[in-house]
DNA sequence: GTGAAAGCGCTAACAC
DNA sequence: GTGTTAGCGCTTTCAC
């Protein structure tokens, strides 16, 4: 049993055994610059030389030190992205779109999680700038003054996402959360609902959706929605809890707009448990068009947004900029669609 | 409207405006090494000097170049982790456990996604080694020979997770997927089920769970479970589809073990749609103890594992090793618990 | 097509 | 406490 054993590889074996460009060059009988060229610009090396060097690279298990390369060339081929939370499905598709597009060009993604905190976001931005990432993707348009200033000073391309703004830091791809909330308000009105509640967090995008919803209702002189604030955390449970609160404290409510589909699904589960019929007794709708909204019964009305495309476009903008190509649209509005389903 | 505008910051303004350690040192009237010490070992600098330097750092917006630092010191304070997929909840908690523990020590997490492919995993490992990460966390114990060899040559600490193995590459934290499958088999038997199906992917951990389940059934001379292989992808839908297949093609089935709770939830939704009672007509159980298993009605029997703790422990092992502290247990079995709920 | 020299911004080791 | 010197492993520029 190999327990209680001191780890045998001292991490600081300073005379590191790592194979270097020099080693390969020496073995292959060329200068180190040739090895460099074989890796970066193979066309500029004679085929014979290239073959020989390549075989030594493989044989010796040489892995170029990207730290040194980045330091010398001032390009790391790393793009950083900051999302409020990884591991909840909302932003997963954006990350996927981002990383797929970046990988296709040999870039890697450094991922950070801000926990919906502007301060944490700022700290991450500083750390990423310290690592000399080639570009940064941010969620939302709200950032600390310090973050904006750092980003400006670093002079690297930035893409803000998941919202719209007149004056982005640099580039922007998203949709109007306000308009999306407004559109859902119109949908609910048109379906005849008059006592509407909104369940969502304090994050800027949720706030914008609520503002849009409120405006739509006000337009028709329907009273301002009841606002149930949810803590961050496990969404199904939060959705359930807010549903309990609505049923208990706001029994006249006939429709609830949730800031995401998982919250709505949790609420639906609570309704089913309490034998409230959806949508007959109370209507529910969500946001983002996640899988659960489609698959649960009754299927949940939602606002479809193209999360994957946001990531994809952000990556394209960055790559264009990094290759000195013009970016056709510095502000890119991807829009949204209300998807009526059985739950309303 | 600022559309159709060429991006105005050429990314390659080579005479970079970035503030350097030298600049700060010059402004503060000290040598650059003093600036370095203010950042890395503030105690070794006279308070007066420190205050002065710090104020200049803040004033000039100096951000240390971690690339250069890493190159010189041979420590990047980056830990890489590779999971089969980000954005599905299964590994999310492990990532959270990892990044929380790492952040507390000033380390950052570089995240990679292998898409359940050993080849992609190997490519990521090579890229990460090229970036000179200080340590690597891997999912599972199955890796290409090339990956093992690279890892060995790089001589960095490695933690494998989410499974058990006699001879890990280096360190290991997980639980026995085989035993977990076996335990669920025992539970199903004890509940009186005799016609059991298994739904899961081709990944090594799913295969191990199936093997354990099969062994438990064989022990009591119950026939080998029907195995429905699921493609990767959107789990609710896959769960639903496999349920359809089971109901249509294997109608005698009285219990189904799903390789994760989301699959089981999808199957449950299909049962409800078809008015099959769970567990009376057919029993379902899942794996991982995700939120959805707890919240859906009926609640789904599952195998609880401590995903967060896996990440947390992996980080601790790595940090201990990097600080030349002994690691108490090089192989750490966190175990699991079968949680019986209404669905069986 | 290939090589030599210089330097990216930092830290380690040793001096003062 | 603080400074000096010498690289870390690579890319860039320019020469051959």
Tokens for B329, please give them: 């247990």
pLDDT tens column, B153-162: 999 999 999 9
Residue of higher predicted confidence among A166 and A86:
A166
Long-range contact list for B59-63, CB < 8 A, 24+ apart? B60/B19, B60/B23, B60/B24, B60/B27, B61/A149, B61/A150, B61/A153, B61/B19, B62/B19, B62/B20, B62/B21, B62/B23, B62/B24, B62/B35, B63/A126, B63/A129, B63/A130, B63/A150, B63/A154, B63/B18, B63/B19
Which percentage of chain A shows pLDDT scores above 90?
A: 81
What's the rounded Cα separation, in Å, for the pair A314 and A101? 9
Question: Which positions on chain D have an atom < 7 Å from some protein CB?
Answer: 1-5, 7-13
Of A11, A93, A295, the CB nearest to B266: A295
Q: Is the dihedral of CA A278, A279, A282, A285 positive or negative?
A: positive
What are B93-124's pLDDT values in tens digits?
999 999 999 988 989 999 999 989 999 999 99
CA-CA distance, A138 to A121, in Å (whole number)? Answer: 9
Residue A4 pLDDT:
35
B86 and A88: CB-CB below 8 Å?
Answer: no
CB–CB contact B95 A87 (8 Å): yes
Lowest mean pLDDT among A119-128, A149-158, B37-46: B37-46
Per-residue pLDDT of A51-110, as tens digits, reads 999 999 999 999 999 999 999 999 999 999 999 988 777 898 999 999 999 988 889 999
Share of chain A residues as helix, strand and coil, in percent rounded to the nearest 5? 45, 15, 40
- Give the tens place of pLDDT for each residue, A291-324: 999 999 999 999 999 999 999 999 999 999 999 9
pLDDT of B272 above 90: yes
Kindly tell me if the per-residue pLDDT of B10 is higher than 50: no
Query: What is the CA A31 to C1' D16 distance in angstroms?
Result: 14
The pLDDT value given to residue B9: 37
Relative to beta strand A78-83, strand A135-139 is parallel
Residue A229 Cβ < 7 Å to strand D: no
Dmax over CA atoms of chain A, in Å, equals 84
| CA distances, B25 to each of A70, A150, A272, B31, B58 (Å) | 24, 20, 67, 5, 13
C-alpha–C-alpha distance, residues A112 and A162, integer Å? 16
Q: Do B71 and A66 touch (CB under 8 A)?
A: no
For chain B, what percentages of helix, strand and coil (3-state, to nearest 5) are there?
Answer: 45, 15, 40
d(CA B177, CA B204): 9
**Coil, helix or strand for B284?**
strand
In angstroms, the CA of A317 and the C1' of D10 are apart by: 28
CA separation for the pair A69, A74 (Å, rounded): 8
Residues on chain B touching A149 (C-beta within 8 angstroms): 61
| DSSP category for residue A220 | T
Q: Strand D proximity: list residues 49-68 of B with CB under 7 Å.
A: 49-50, 68
**Residue B64 C-beta-side C-alpha neighbours within 13 Å:** 17
Facing B331 at nearest CB: one of A3, A66, A170:
A3
Write out the H or E segment, with its range, that includes residue A333: strand A331-333
**Record: contact B7-A240, CB cut-off 8 A:** no
Whether A36 sits with its Cβ under 7 A from any strand D atom: the answer reads yes
Among B70, B79, B85, CA closest to B104: B79
**Average pLDDT rounded to a whole number, residues B176-182:** 98
Residue of B nearest to A155 (CA): B9
CB contact under 8 A, A67 and B3: no
Pairwise CB contact (< 8 Å): B13 & A328: no
Identify which of B10, B64, B87 has the shortest CB distance to residue A92: B87
Is B119 within 7 A of strand D by CB distance?
Answer: no
CA distance A20 to chain B (A): 11
Which tens digits make up the pLDDT trace of A260-298?
A: 999 999 999 999 999 999 999 999 999 999 999 999 999
Choice among A18-32, A239-253, A254-268, A287-301 with the minimum mean pLDDT: A18-32
Report pLDDT for A239.
97
Q: Choose the mutation target among A112, A131, A275, A324 for the interface with B, i.e. most B CBs under 10 Å.
A: A131
Name the average pLDDT for chain B.
Answer: 92
For A232 and C4, how far is CA from C1' in angstroms? 59
- Can you tell me the distance from the alpha carbon of B81 to that of B60, in angstroms, rounded to the nearest whole number? 35
The tokens of B259 are what?
A: 């390789």
Residue nearest to nucleotide D2 (CA to C1'): B34
Name the more confident of B171 and A3.
B171
pLDDT of residue B37: 93
pLDDT of residue B90: 85
CB within 8 Å of B70: residues ≥ 6 apart: A67, B76, B77, B132
Asked if A259 and A184 count as a contact pair (C-beta separation under 8 A), the reply is no
CB B266 within 8 A of CB B293: no
Q: Which residues contact A307 (CB under 8 A, 6 or more apart)?
A: A90, A91, A92, A93, A94, A97, A288
Q: What is the average pLDDT across B184-206?
A: 96
Which tokens in the block code for residue A127? 């750390």
Contact residues, chain A, for B67 at CB < 8 Å:
67, 70-71, 76, 131-132
> What mean pLDDT is predicted for residues B1-7?
36
To the nearest whole percent, how much of chain A has pLDDT over 70?
A: 95
Helices (H), chain A: 21-28, 32-40, 47-60, 66-73, 89-103, 118-130, 145-154, 177-190, 204-219, 235-249, 261-273, 291-295, 307-322
């Amino acid at each position: 049993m190999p327990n209680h054993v001191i780890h045998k590889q001292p991490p600081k074996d300073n005379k590191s055994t790592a194979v270097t460009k020099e080693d390969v060059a020496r073995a292959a009988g060329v200068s180190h610059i040739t090895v460099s060229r074989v890796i970066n610009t193979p066309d500029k090396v004679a085929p014979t030389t290239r073959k020989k060097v390549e075989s030594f690279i493989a044989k010796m298990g040489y892995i170029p030190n990207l730290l040194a390369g980045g330091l010398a060339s001032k390009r790391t081929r790393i793009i950083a992205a900051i999302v409020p939370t990884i591991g909840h499905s909302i932003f997963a598709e954006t990350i996927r779109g981002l990383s797929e597009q970046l990988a296709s060009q040999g870039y890697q993604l450094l991922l950070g999680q801000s926990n919906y905190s502007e301060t944490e976001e700022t700290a991450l931005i500083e750390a990423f700038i310290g690592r000399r990432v080639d570009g940064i993707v941010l969620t939302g348009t709200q950032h600390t003054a310090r973050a904006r200033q750092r980003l400006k000073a670093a002079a690297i391309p930035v893409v803000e996402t998941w919202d719209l703004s007149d004056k982005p830091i640099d580039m922007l791809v998203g949709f109007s959360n306000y308009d999306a909330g407004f559109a859902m308000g119109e949908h609910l009105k048109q379906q005849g609902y008059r006592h509407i509640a909104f369940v969502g967090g304090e994050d800027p995008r949720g706030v914008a959706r609520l503002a849009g919803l409120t405006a739509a209702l006000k337009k028709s002189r329907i009273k301002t929605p009841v606002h149930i604030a949810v803590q961050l955390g496990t969404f199904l449970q939060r959705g359930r809890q807010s549903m309990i609160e609505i049923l208990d404290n706001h029994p006249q409510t006939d429709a609830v707009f949730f800031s995401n589909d998982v919250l709505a699904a949790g609420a639906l589960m609570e309704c089913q448990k309490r034998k409230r019929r959806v949508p007959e007794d109370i209507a529910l709708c969500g946001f983002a068009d996640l899988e659960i909204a489609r698959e649960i019964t009754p299927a949940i009305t939602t606002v479809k947004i193209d999360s994957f495309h946001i990531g994809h476009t952000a990556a394209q903008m960055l790559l264009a900029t990094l290759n000195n190509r013009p970016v056709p649209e510095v502000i890119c509005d991807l829009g949204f669609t209300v998807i009526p389903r059985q739950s309303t």
